[in-house]
Structure 1
């Protein structure tokens, strides 16, 4: 078989040809001699060819070499077969768990016939794209060969990978073709063969692989990338998300225990903190495997105390370029080159909850076009995900953690820059919060509440004063909303923190501090902690009188609040004079036509009703309605509240027909003005149902109670105090109609829920216990009823005193029950 010789020179030289062989010479004066007599070459780098030779090779130039090519090397590329053993799959992952759904999607996509299929596997850096595809290629029966893996993060790396493929196909060509020529030959081979599988890993710029996608036919291409958008129209997209919690824990434990059993305390908590991100789990697992004295709990502690070190550095076996911080910083550098606002967006996102962050919280960062361009770029690189349906974005919790971690080598992440970002995020959130918890704002509150929770969790007593003041305002507003929604314990936690912050930043006498103290007293009252609420109300009233004056609106509000608290514990001899003074002071300070007068009259009338002074109560309610209609209008919500209260007073005085007519009129008005699902409308529906029940119209009562429960569960939630009250009311209607089994089931559930949500000593829990006792009595389960009445009596005497109206009522029920011989 013929052999072709190809001479390659490192440099072109003009050399004289003489009979004889070439010899290198140190001196131009010394001739090169040959063993054949009469054949020689004179001069530096001269060549001599022996006389009589018919075939020879002349090799010139420093580093020149001769390559002997077999004939097949020059065959057309379409005739070149791939030799066995040229697959170059990276090392199969040693720790791989789960991902069955994604592996199945790769199986399904690559089983489809066709000339070429582009499978784009994309996700956040560190999500496990490369690992997934490597695992799939190594373990699944995909039936493709050869399998070539090309790192495709730059155009140069793509070209290099193709050249290496061409070299694997025909090794001898590596000596005669340039890298560009080899890459072209690989592309020609891909376009003329079938059955191959090409993995393009970590594609950053789709232009870098455009020629491959355009020319390669007959095989399969799998792409991994952080980019989420712009892929080939025929591509099947597989988005990789974080691991399932069970899988992430298994991955961590597998890495930690590779050399033997270990203490695994805190493994689940660590995986949660790392957001179940595979690269972060690997990084933590390798670190813990290298440090046998540490537990996952220890790692989590260090992650909290030294985030920069833990994100930036891994174990010795971890590639320094493959740490969480390094990977994401590289991505962010690419994004911010064209979209500098992206840094500001990530730094603002860092202080909120990771899911469903409204884009309105980015207002003010830059001009709207710059904001949306940056959001688009961050989305394209999977640093965030966007939800057009809710106009919100989400971000991985570790991206947030890295974004709020100081980096002394990067001015964008200096301590000062991050402190400024924290303050800006807090100010943006405060601007977005509604001023008062009104039903029309509930949807907004519920959207923003997770972000409030997260932002205040990052609260540090060492933060600057302005940020502390902003955070205090957020805590106060949120505490009011939570208290209104029945989340009293959380409300107390927030308002207590607000009070501490106010006293620290403004002093004990600042109006902001007094507001926090008033709100805390209200929250204490909501959970029945009257022994704490009343002294706080008393102190706030005294301070406001001293600092703001006796006729200041806040002072008048404090006086009313204290009177309400006195009334709640049965201290009517103190409550009524305080209500009367609040009414007189309000009239003097504001005039008889001020809306606050209507509220003060309502409160005083309700106190009269509570003490059995029904005639005075009804007269005052009627006067209040007349004034409210003149001042506010007949359809104003405050007017409707007064009308509802008057109807209740009619019912208490036995004027049931008048009560029902007024309840019906109020319900109709509230449905028209406020809507069917407004909380005030639900209250009217409940009150009308109770009036129907009192008049014996049980079917109508039960229907309205059931409607009320359905609406309260849907709107306010199954755990809201008003929802639990509605269940109790329906149970009493069932009792009245003889449906005792249904009634007792509801009452027992209501008591359990009250004890769970509010504790055993909350007023609502007392009521639920008392109503259940009545149910047991109705069902003739007298010993159980007696035990409950005894407990309720003791609780009520302790909570509101022995002379409270509720205490007298329960004492009477117990006496009646005992008279029956129990």
Structure 2
């Protein structure tokens, strides 16, 4: 290629790392469509990737041309330089429209050229500059997500290992062509950790490497500095860094453009900054709209307007939308920069709005809502961090603590649930006083958690307090009172205090039938619990019909795919097992185990129970080789989910020891 038709304004980056898939996608797109756009967040490496493409494939083009297009004036200046490059007679004309027309004519009458238009965020602006028909190729870099006639290639954040390699090469800690193989395990771990902290953003990694090289400092020092003063480091640019504004300026300018165009879109991005960065459910903005300020509140029940606001918010790739899942993503460094620029009052305001919106949409943690709870859980956890940081004292804050704790409790994540229950109780006591039904609910929930953990002496006074409060505040004929009778009975049952448990279980069953009717899941639970009590007392003939009623009710009311169905199968299997009816017990145990693994996940305490019970059946039949792996699996899960000192864990450990001694 003649040197005069090569006007790339940058040298090849010796530290360019990875991006092989993106480079191949760009090449294929240009070969097939001739028009391609490399799209992504500012600082994600679009320009550096296009530079690498130009150097790598320069032999495939007759000319490679480069213009910048962040502003129309830049684009005009770029075309004037192209006229000079082409030695066009009009290049010295004062009338720029004549110069642009001449360059368009050159592009229309020559072939094999590649025109790179860098920072082309306003793609519609290009129509006046490019010929309608030509035999060349056009490659854009853009933050726009909608690219029209240009085939969009999205460039995403780097995986941790690629980011670590870029960091190490750029910081001169390894040679330019070296891989991670020759790096110590400690250095690799630190580099990958920094890459994760930067969320795979090449610009941030380049800044980090420049700091490490120029200071000089170690990877460990930089990581410590970043964790202590990340926003300050993101605003710095090394003297030897690549020609690009720092991370803070890059994101701040993009956000200001969004805010100027559409303040509501700016508000949406602000809310995203106060949530977990990935898979932000859109219902936070729709169902929780009333909590998010005047602009966003107007979007409630206006789905088209909401989508248009998302379009504006994503104009510079500050957020991404997954239309299938109806979720939004935001880069965590965008979050950091936006929060760092806020004053304390504004930060507190948006944190509080976010807490209220998440509380509004977080559902009750019954099994039917688990998928929705799981979708919202990462954002609830972040909102709870804001509650702690700003010491928000409101009933909504207490409700979010309680509901999130209840969901974690239901999923068997007891250690995560406990501090949330404790904070909810404390907050409700301060806000509502001791004499309030919500305080009673918090006592009840915390007691239930202690019961699940085998902390019986801690659970009992809380259950008793909850029952007493509910009786006094709600009256005897109330569903919550029936729940308290049931739960206190369960505590006595697990302690072996059967004579104290029985009248409470019977009272709970009677109340529930009267208040809820026979056809209700809670009535089925009461039948199940009373049957378990009879089974423990070897009153098998009384237990069996109650178990069968509970199973039948649950199937009818809940469907076959429900954890309570698995519980009924397991309990009925246990009844047959204790009667020596092994052939009847085995398929029930197996069905319960299969259901629980599918519905609850491998690490749930109920799965532990199923493994242990099935192992016990095999042990009793002398099938030791089948029992041992089940006991071992049960012990592994129990130690993880319940802890090494939980009564169930101790029982499983003893069962396994007996089997090994026997075998």
| TM-score, normalised relative to structure 1 | 0.71
**Does the alignment pair 1:202 with 2:119?**
yes
Quick one: distance in 2 between partners of 1:495 and 1:596?
18
Say which one has the larger Rg: 1
**Does the alignment pair 1:417 with 2:346?**
yes
| Partner SS state of residue 149, structure 1 | strand
Tell me the residue number matched to 1:85.
Answer: 4
Q: Which has the higher contact order (CA 8 A, sep 6+)?
A: 2
| Partner SS state of residue 314, structure 1 | coil
Tell me the residue number matched to 1:104.
Answer: 24
Quick one: distance in 1 between partners of 2:83 and 2:165?
41
Match of 2:222 among 299, 303, 315: 299
Match of 2:196 among 272, 279, 288: 272
Quick one: distance in 1 between partners of 2:170 and 2:358?
41
Say if 1:87 and 1:146, in contact at 8 Å, map to a contact too: yes
Quick one: distance in 2 between partners of 1:622 and 1:507?
32
**Does the alignment pair 1:492 with 2:439?**
no
Quick one: distance in 1 between partners of 2:82 and 2:257?
29
1:511-590 aligned at under 5 Å gives the runs: 519-520=445-446, 522-529=448-455, 533=458, 538=461, 555-556=468-469, 586=471, 590=475
Say if 2:284 and 2:361, in contact at 8 Å, map to a contact too: yes
Say if 1:266 and 1:295, in contact at 8 Å, map to a contact too: no
Tell me the residue number matched to 1:150.
Answer: 67
For the structure 1 residues 465 and 603, does the alpha-carbon distance in structure 2 shift closer, same or farther, using more than 3 Å as the test? closer
Say if 2:355 and 2:387, in contact at 8 Å, map to a contact too: no
| Count of residues in correspondence between the two structures | 640
Tell me the residue number matched to 1:367.
Answer: 298
For the structure 1 residues 657 and 587, does the alpha-carbon distance in structure 2 shift closer, same or farther, using more than 3 Å as the test? farther
| Partner SS state of residue 195, structure 1 | strand
Quick one: distance in 2 between partners of 1:175 and 1:441?
70
| Partner SS state of residue 317, structure 1 | coil
For the structure 1 residues 731 and 170, does the alpha-carbon distance in structure 2 shift closer, same or farther, using more than 3 Å as the test? same
| Partner SS state of residue 297, structure 2 | coil
Tell me the residue number matched to 1:674.
Answer: 558
**Does the alignment pair 1:332 with 2:267?**
no
1:172-321 aligned at under 5 Å gives the runs: 173-176=90-93, 178-232=95-149, 235-257=150-172, 266-292=190-216, 294-318=217-241
Tell me the residue number matched to 2:87.
Answer: 170
Quick one: distance in 2 between partners of 1:613 and 1:508?
33
Alpha-carbon offset, residue 290 of structure 1: 1.6
Instruction: Give the gaps of 5 or more residues in structure 1.
Output: 1-81, 407-412, 545-552, 558-585, 782-822
**Does the alignment pair 1:725 with 2:642?**
no
Quick one: distance in 1 between partners of 2:388 and 2:481?
43
Instruction: Give the gaps of 5 or more residues in structure 2.
Output: 176-182, 291-295
Say if 1:341 and 1:366, in contact at 8 Å, map to a contact too: no
Higher fraction of helix? 2
Quick one: distance in 2 between partners of 1:279 and 1:249?
13
Quick one: distance in 2 between partners of 1:770 and 1:166?
86
**Does the alignment pair 1:427 with 2:353?**
no
Q: Deviations over 1:701-729 (max 9, x none)?
A: 22222221122112211111011101111
Alpha-carbon offset, residue 432 of structure 1: 1.7
| Partner SS state of residue 454, structure 2 | coil
For the structure 1 residues 420 and 319, does the alpha-carbon distance in structure 2 shift closer, same or farther, using more than 3 Å as the test? farther
Tell me the residue number matched to 1:452.
Answer: 380
Q: Deviations over 1:438-474 (max 9, x none)?
A: 212222221111112223345555x26447x754543
Quick one: distance in 2 between partners of 1:405 and 1:608?
53
Say if 1:341 and 1:371, in contact at 8 Å, map to a contact too: no
Alpha-carbon offset, residue 513 of structure 1: 7.9
Say if 1:154 and 1:208, in contact at 8 Å, map to a contact too: no
Alpha-carbon offset, residue 282 of structure 1: 1.0
For the structure 1 residues 739 and 212, does the alpha-carbon distance in structure 2 shift closer, same or farther, using more than 3 Å as the test? farther
Match of 1:355 among 278, 294, 299: 278
Quick one: distance in 2 between partners of 1:631 and 1:456?
35
Tell me the residue number matched to 2:523.
Answer: 639
Mean CA deviation greater in 660-669 or 316-325? 316-325
**Does the alignment pair 1:771 with 2:651?**
no
| TM-score, normalised relative to structure 2 | 0.87
Alpha-carbon offset, residue 686 of structure 1: 0.9
Quick one: distance in 2 between partners of 1:424 and 1:665?
47
Quick one: distance in 1 between partners of 2:627 and 2:80?
81
Quick one: distance in 2 between partners of 1:506 and 1:601?
27
Quick one: distance in 2 between partners of 1:144 and 1:603?
77
Say if 1:751 and 1:769, in contact at 8 Å, map to a contact too: yes
